[in-house]
């Protein structure tokens, strides 16, 4: 959703006369200044196509070649991480939250997260967790905040360790049982049906027997979903799990095969009677932790494409990747680098009419800002330009005119069939 406006200039077509030129040059300098200030003003404003619009309600998909024939409500669940300590922001981060470098112990920060998420149309957080220590304490804390705020949660159980190896099966079984005992009847975890939704990550690295060993004792209290990434993985997992949540943050949605891949997964999950949670991300960049794939955000266009693809895959819910995964730069939380861009794009998509949060303008701009560019740099550039214009007006009286070419950027159009956003 990148858009630009260029104002065309005009030359005089010859050499200006030496007499009476100072007032004209002063006027031209003032005009150039106004254009520059206007451009800066445009850059500080949100893009018109990302402004919230429409009536409140849930996202709805209208009939199309790849969408259900009946209009269905589509909740949006955002992956939410509670692993942040004060030292986390010093490791592999190229961006930081607009709220400051918080820790995941702070109730006030959790409350602000809930407020901001709700304002953009997010229905629930899928909280990343595994049993033990401060993660369990933080899960209890975000649950308390969600109850107070009338918000809801799901769970993402981390079945892999930091090195992406599977956790011991007995530990997985114990953790799922512990969660079921503590939260199985908690209304704050009701985002689908009468049981909490639990996404078990890394399920492809566990045997079918081990999957069943852990899921069977909690099946009456939890709706456990697999995290299969292919049709083959899902065919094996469908014997155990009640659905699938595909965590796919690194795909470039400009690829023509991407919507078809999601649609195939959705069809397979529904054929088994499962719940299909389709992914959508605003971008991706994990180079600071050894990754090579970079998916640019394109001022919200990437998120818009992925949300459309998720809708048209017959999704029962959209798994938004992510609220605050800053290491892989898939976060939609307002930040110092990207400002409110992702939340505005999301609010436009959902049709939320709730006011988006106001943030300190010194921390966020509301539009993507290239790394290394900020307000101070803009003022320095502006000062240098004015100085150059004044020197030119004083000493270059017989200079020939310059000509500025004009142009305009094109508006974004989704390649998928149109969908109805939100309806009352």
Place of tokens 């794009």: 345
Helices (H), 184-295: 208-215, 231-237, 258-271
288 with 375, same domain: the answer is no
When pLDDT is averaged across residues 207-222 and rounded to a whole number, the result is 98
Q: Are residues 82 and 230 in the same domain?
A: yes
Are β-strands 76-80 and 317-320 bridged in parallel, bridged antiparallel, or unpaired?
A: parallel
Strand pairing category for 275-280 and 243-245: parallel
**Same domain membership, residue 40 and residue 55:** no
Answer yes or no: is 241 within a domain: yes
Tell me the per-residue pLDDT of 272-291, one tens digit each, with 9 for 90 and over: 999 999 999 999 999 999 99
Specify whether 299 is located in the same domain as 329: yes
What is the per-residue pLDDT across 219-261, written as a single tens digit (0 to 9) for each?
999 999 999 999 999 999 999 999 999 999 999 999 999 999 9
By C-alpha distance, which of 339, 341, 337 is closest to 303? 341
Residue 395 has phi, psi (to 5 degrees) of -110, -15
217 belongs to a structural domain: yes
Among left, alpha and beta (phi > 0; psi -120 to 50; other), residue 229 is alpha
Domain check: are 301 and 388 in the same one?
A: no
CA distance 283 to 373: 20
Q: What mean pLDDT is predicted for residues 353-377?
A: 56
Structure tokens, 169: 């099966």
* pLDDT score for 19: 43
- The domain that holds 105 is classified in CATH as 3.20.20.80
Q: Which domain holds residue 374?
A: 21-44+369-395
Do 320 and 278 touch, CB atoms closer than 8 A?
A: no
Q: Are 194 and 305 found together in one domain?
A: yes
80 in any annotated domain? yes
Q: What is the pLDDT of residues 60-111, one digit of tens each?
A: 443 333 333 333 479 999 999 999 999 999 999 999 999 999 999 999 999 9
pLDDT score at 357: 85
pLDDT for 217 beyond 80: yes
Q: How many helices (H) and strands (E) does the chain have?
A: 10, 12
Give residue 345's pLDDT band: very low, low, confident or very high (50, 70, 90): very high
- Same-domain status, 60 and 136: yes
Over 80: is that where the pLDDT of 314 sits?
yes
Where helices occur in 75-190 by DSSP H, the ranges are 107-119, 133-149, 169-183
Question: Looking at the structure, do residues 31 and 85 belong to the same domain, yes or no?
Answer: no
pLDDT of residue 132: 79
- Structural domain count, the chain: 2
As a whole number, mean pLDDT of residues 314-318 equals: 97
Whether the pTM exceeds 0.85: the reply is: no
Q: In angstroms, what CA-CA distances link 271 with 75, 197, 267, 383, 400?
A: 21, 20, 6, 64, 72
């Amino acid at each position: 959703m990148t858009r630009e406006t260029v104002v065309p200039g005009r030359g005089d077509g010859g050499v200006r006369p030496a007499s009476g030129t100072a007032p004209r040059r002063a006027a031209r300098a003032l005009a150039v200044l106004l254009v520059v200030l206007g451009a800066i003003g445009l850059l500080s404003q949100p893009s018109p196509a990302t402004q919230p619009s429409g009536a409140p309600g849930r996202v709805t998909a209208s009939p199309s070649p790849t969408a259900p024939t009946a209009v269905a409500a589509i909740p949006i669940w955002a992956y939410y991480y509670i692993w942040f300590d004060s030292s986390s922001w010093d490791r592999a981060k190229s961006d930081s939250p607009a709220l400051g470098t918080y820790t995941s112990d702070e109730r006030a920060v959790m409350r602000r997260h809930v407020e901001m998420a709700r304002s953009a149309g997010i229905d629930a957080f899928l909280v990343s967790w595994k049993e033990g220590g401060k993660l369990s304490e933080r899960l209890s804390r975000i649950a308390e905040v969600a109850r107070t705020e009338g918000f809801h949660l799901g769970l993402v159980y981390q079945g892999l360790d930091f090195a992406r190896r599977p956790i011991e099966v007995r530990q997985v079984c114990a953790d799922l049982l512990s969660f079921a005992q503590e939260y199985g009847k908690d209304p704050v975890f009701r985002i689908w049906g009468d049981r909490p939704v639990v996404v078990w990550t890394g399920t492809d690295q566990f045997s079918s027997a081990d999957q069943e060993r852990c899921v069977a004792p909690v099946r009456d209290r939890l709706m456990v979903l697999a995290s299969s990434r292919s049709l083959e993985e899902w065919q094996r997992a469908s014997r155990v799990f009640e659905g699938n949540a595909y965590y796919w943050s690194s795909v470039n949605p400009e690829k023509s095969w991407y919507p078809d891949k999601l649609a195939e997964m959705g069809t397979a999950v529904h054929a088994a009677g499962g719940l299909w949670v389709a992914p959508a991300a605003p971008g991706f960049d994990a180079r600071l932790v050894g990754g090579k794939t970079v998916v640019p955000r394109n001022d919200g266009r990437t998120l818009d494409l992925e949300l459309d693809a998720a809708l048209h895959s017959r999704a029962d819910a959209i798994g938004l990747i992510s609220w605050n995964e800053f290491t892989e730069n898939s976060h939609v939380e307002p930040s110092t680098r990207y400002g409110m861009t992702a939340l505005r794009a999301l609010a436009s998509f959902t049709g939320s009419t709730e006011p988006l949060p106001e943030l300190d303008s010194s921390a966020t701009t509301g539009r993507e800002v290239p790394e290394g560019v900020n307000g101070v740099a803009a003022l320095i550039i502006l000062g240098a330009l004015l100085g150059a214009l004044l020197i030119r007006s004083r000493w270059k009286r017989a200079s020939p005119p310059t000509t500025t070419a004009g142009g305009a950027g094109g508006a974004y159009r989704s390649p998928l069939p149109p969908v109805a956003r939100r309806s009352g």
